[in-house]
Structure 1
Amino acid sequence: MSDVRFGDPQALLAQARAARDRADFAGATSAADALLHLNPRDPRALVLKADALAGQGDHRSAMAFYGAALAQGRAIAMPPPDLRAELERAARAQADGARRFEQGLRDGLEERGYHPASSSARFAASLDLITGRRRLYYQQPKFYMFPGLPQIEFQPRETVDWLAGVEAAAPAIREELDAILAEPALFAPYIEDRANRPRNDQAGMLDNAAWSAVFLWKDGAEVPEVAARCPETMRALAEAPLCRIPGRSPSILFSKLQAGAKIPPHHGLINPRLICHLPLVAPPGSHFRVGGETREWKEGQAWAFDDTIEHEAWNGSGRDRTILIFDVWKPEITAEEQDLIRALFATIDATGGGAPKLGV
């Protein structure tokens, strides 16, 4: 018999397919290996090799070859019908294999003491990552990066224990908000044009009243005529470690998202701070995503998050959603580092660097 490594590709392809169809997985492996010797990137051969491995019970290795076949197939703009059918089947096989892998993993972990509802939330996130249920997101500040900070989407509550005091004040804050909501003219689009910056439409949100705000503090300065109307709100924030950078932060505001409106995915400007939300008018169906985790706003239930990780919001309800937003220092930023960050921005201003406003 001649060495199959030097056979005709079309003959080898037919041989491999025939062997696969009659469940001769050893023969299919031999022919597929011969095809891959001729062209290691041949997507048809990669699928056949995966099929042979799966037929022999080696599903983990099969997944690797299905994945390689799909990667090669994506580089072909218009695959011929026979290849398209093979790739579609490979995609289904890979999805089935991923489900089997995940179920086996979760079953085995539960046998070893893992409890999804009560075990470590960080471990649960790692499990979602390894099984492909979750993407990994990183801090991507648009202006200033402070290195060495944890990559955390929603801040653990035990590190922001003062947030409970803000939640306790939610009924009093809501009363002050109701008086503000009674004057719709007080709200202005959150994304406004700035004369000293190039015009950036920001996915249709520029000057869009669908996302509007009333500021109690803006860019590090009090808005007296609004703050004076909200003494309970300001009193509730007295214990919060507000991120104070002259000319930049904090910002404290009531943020309204109209029914049906969406805020597109975006990143914040600096990562030494957290953004905090206290939902005050939160109809069911209004949601917020940070990185790989999505939550529904619930009235009186606050959270803190890293806005330099990709985030977005949408209001799928039939009513406007309104929340209190403010920014605080991350717990890892020391008092010395806070002073140095303030000095950095003061120096930028003094040298005419004109750093962008931080917003929230």
Structure 2
Amino acid sequence: MPSSIPADIIRLLQAGHFNNARQVIHERFQGTVPDLSVGLALAVACRGCGDADAALEALDAALTYSPHDLSALILKGDIYYDTKRKRLAMQCYANVLKIVASATQLPAEIQSALPRIDSRYHEVATAMNQHINGALTSSPETKNLPRFQEAMKLMRGEADMYYSRPRAFYFPGLPHRQFYPNSLFDWADDVMQGTSTILGELQSITNSEGFEPYMQRHQQGPKGRVHSLLDSDQWQALFLLKDGERIAPYADACSGTLDIISKVPLAAISGRGPMALFSRLNAGGHIAPHNGFFNTRLICHLPLVVPKNCKLRVGNETHEWQKGQLVVFDDSIEHEAWNHSQEKRDILIFDIWHPDLDADEREAISQLYQSIDTFEANG
């Protein structure tokens, strides 16, 4: 019990004289809860009297002074649990577990209560999930709703929430969506049908010296942001279009590839885009988690040479590439890729405008980027 509570009240509570303690607290503080300690003492007294609702009322008053007080949250969860309001108990216990996860030091009484809290939380969470799953079984159509299924994983704590966090420029109002279904793009089927043509052109230049490290030291900014694959041959690129310019001779050798993606709304910005490249992740390669520069574009992958155990994670969803199956995702959300095979992985990458941007917004963004790029030239 908090030491700021008068000793006589503490003695009454320790002796189990809860009615007397409740009356003394009420008289001494004139029916008010002036601070956290008084609220806790009153809650203990009311709970001992069997008045759970009054105890919860006292705790709510106490928590107005310290919303994250662990003693108050634990006691509130215990009262809800004992009175069969287990969903509310689970919410209180969840708050406790979240707070202690980042705490560096805890009082002994809190530390000793954690195993019970953790056990009760998982007991209620398991029962609640079983109840929900049983209820949803009668609605089998929910299994065919990917976004609903993702929401369920988030609710159950089986997945974390990831948001668009571009490193350079954030355009508000665009959805925080990890992967985009191909059905949203009327050009997707044409690109996938061109897989053989694109792979053939890649193979025709595969012995050239066009592949180079994707991350190169001379491209780094003045702060020298060091990438784990800087100047590494683990992750290589062969550009057909770079900063909006054709890269000879590879663009000429892959004219069929460029013709196939010419019908795509590529993110064309003078001096910056679009880009189109063959990306190679060699055996054992891992591209560490990172975020792209802008959320105004989406990244498209057309897998061409894909051994087993080659995957892409965007946010909380992991995708395994399949040859010829287009993958469209928002690279402003944290993502990573790996090749756990003993062979190379090759894909075609190109970027498109975010489909939620209208023509005027695209033009404004283009003008913004161009003005940034010409700042020093006009100085």
TM (norm. structure 1) is: 0.81
Question: 1:217 is aligned with what amino acid?
Answer: L
- Counterpart position of 1:146: 171
- Verify the 8 A CA contact 1:272 1:330 in the aligned structure 2: yes
Give the Cα separation in 1 of the matches to 2:377 and 2:155: 43
Which residue in the other structure is 1:338 paired with?
A: 362
Query: Paired residue for 1:317?
Result: 341
Q: CA deviation at 1:293?
A: 1.6
Pair 1:62 & 2:65 matched: no
> Is 1:87 paired with 2:111?
no
**Could you tell me whether the CA contact under 8 Å between 2:62 and 2:72 is conserved in 1?**
no
Counterparts of residues 188-203 of structure 1 (less than 5 Å): 188-194=212-218, 197-203=221-227
Q: Which residue of 1 aligns with 2:323?
A: 299
**Partners of 1:269 and 1:72 in 2: CA distance:** 33
Q: Does 1:234 align with 2:280?
A: no
Q: Which has the higher contact order (CA 8 A, sep 6+)?
A: 1
Alpha-carbon displacement from aligned partner over 1:203-232 (angstroms, at most 9, x marks no partner): 412212211111111111110111112122
Contact 2:244–2:270 (Cα < 8 Å) also in 1: yes
Q: Report how far residue 302 of structure 1 moved.
A: 0.6
Q: Bigger radius of gyration, 1 or 2?
A: 2
The CA deviation string for residues 56-100 of structure 1, in whole angstroms up to 9 with x for no partner, is 432112212322332453464244676434313422332332232
Give the Cα separation in 1 of the matches to 2:240 and 2:123.
53
Match of 1:107 among 134, 159, 167: 134
1:162 to 179, 187, 196: 187
Task: Give the count of matched residue pairs.
Answer: 340
Question: Do the aligned partners of residues 347 and 79 (structure 1) sit closer, same or farther apart at CA in structure 2, a change above 3 Å counting?
Answer: closer
Name the SS of the counterpart of 1:268 in structure 2: coil
Which residue of structure 1 aligns with residue 33 of structure 2? Answer: none
- On the 8 A contact 1:12/1:35 being kept in 2, the answer is no
Could you tell me how far apart the structure 1 residues matched to 2:328 and 2:12 are? 59
- CA displacement at 1:55 relative to structure 2: 4.1
For residues 140-176 of structure 1, what are the alpha-carbon distances to aligned partners after superposition, in whole Å with 9 as ceiling and x for unaligned? 2222223322222212322212111111111121122
- Give CA-to-partner distance per residue, 1:84-134, whole Å, 9 cap, x none: 3431342233233223222322322332x243432x322222223333233
- Which amino acid in structure 2 is aligned with residue 214 of structure 1? L
Tell me which residue corresponds to 2:32. none
SS of residue matched to 1:254: strand
CA distance in 1, matches of 2:369, 2:15: 67
Is the partner of 1:228 in helix, strand or coil?
helix
Whole-Å Cα distance in 1 between the matches of residues 8 and 317 of structure 2? Answer: 50
Contact kept in structure 2, 1:286 and 1:296, CA below 8 Å: yes
Asked if the contact 1:193/1:199 (under 8 Å) is kept, the reply is no
Distance 1:43 1:98 in 2: 20
Change (3 A) 1:85 1:320: farther
1:6 aligns with 2:32: no
Give 3-state SS (helix, strand or coil) of 2:196's partner: helix
The alignment's C-alpha RMSD in Å is 3.5
Are residues 342 and 173 of structure 1, via their aligned partners in 2, closer, same or farther at CA, if it must alter by over 3 Å?
A: same
Instruction: Specify the alignment match of 1:20 in structure 2.
Output: none
- Residues 7-38 of structure 1: CA deviation (Å, up to 9, x unaligned): 2599489x9xxxxxxxx9987979x9799698
Tell me the equivalent position of 2:373: 349
Report the Cα distance in structure 2 between the residues aligned to 1:233 and 1:9, rounded to whole angstroms. Answer: 84
More moved, 330-339 vs 283-292: 330-339
Q: Which amino acid aligns with 1:93?
A: R
Instruction: Report how far residue 308 of structure 1 moved.
Output: 1.1
* 1:8–1:353 CA distance, 2 compared to 1 (3 A): farther
Cα gap change, 1:331 to 1:50, in 2 (>3 Å): closer
Q: CA deviation at 1:201?
A: 4.4
Gaps of 5+ in 2: 1-5, 19-46
Within a 5 Å distance, the mapping from 1:186-225 to structure 2 comes to 186-194=210-218, 197-225=221-249
| 1:285-341 alpha-carbon deviations (Å, 9 max, x no partner) | 111111222111111111211111121112222322111100111223233333332
Where does structure 1 lack aligned partners over 5 or more consecutive residues? 16-23, 355-360
Question: Does the Cα contact within 8 Å between 1:44 and 1:86 map onto a contact in 2?
Answer: no
Would the alpha carbon gap of residues 351 and 60 (structure 1) be closer, same or farther in structure 2, given more than 3 Å must change?
A: same
Whether contact under 8 Å (2:56, 2:79) holds in the other structure is: no
1:162–1:75 Cα change, 3 Å: closer
Tell me the CA shift for residue 198 of structure 1.
1.6
CA shift at 1:177, angstroms? Answer: 1.9
Q: Which residue of 1 aligns with 2:294?
A: 270
Q: Describe how 1:7-46 pairs up with structure 2 within 5 A.
A: 7-8=10-11, 11=14, 43=70, 46=73
| Equivalent AA in structure 1 for residue 10 of structure 2 | G
TM-score (norm 2): 0.77
SS where residue 213 of structure 1 aligns? strand
Equivalent in the alignment of 2:25: none
Provide closer, same or farther for how the CA distance between residues 26 and 87 of structure 1 changes in structure 2, counting only shifts above 3 A.
farther
Q: Is the contact between residue 298 and residue 330 of structure 2 (CA under 8 Å) also seen in structure 1?
A: yes
SS at match of 1:325: strand
Match of 2:285 among 261, 265, 277: 261
Amino-acid identity (%): 35
Contact residue 155 and residue 304 of structure 1 kept, 8 A: yes
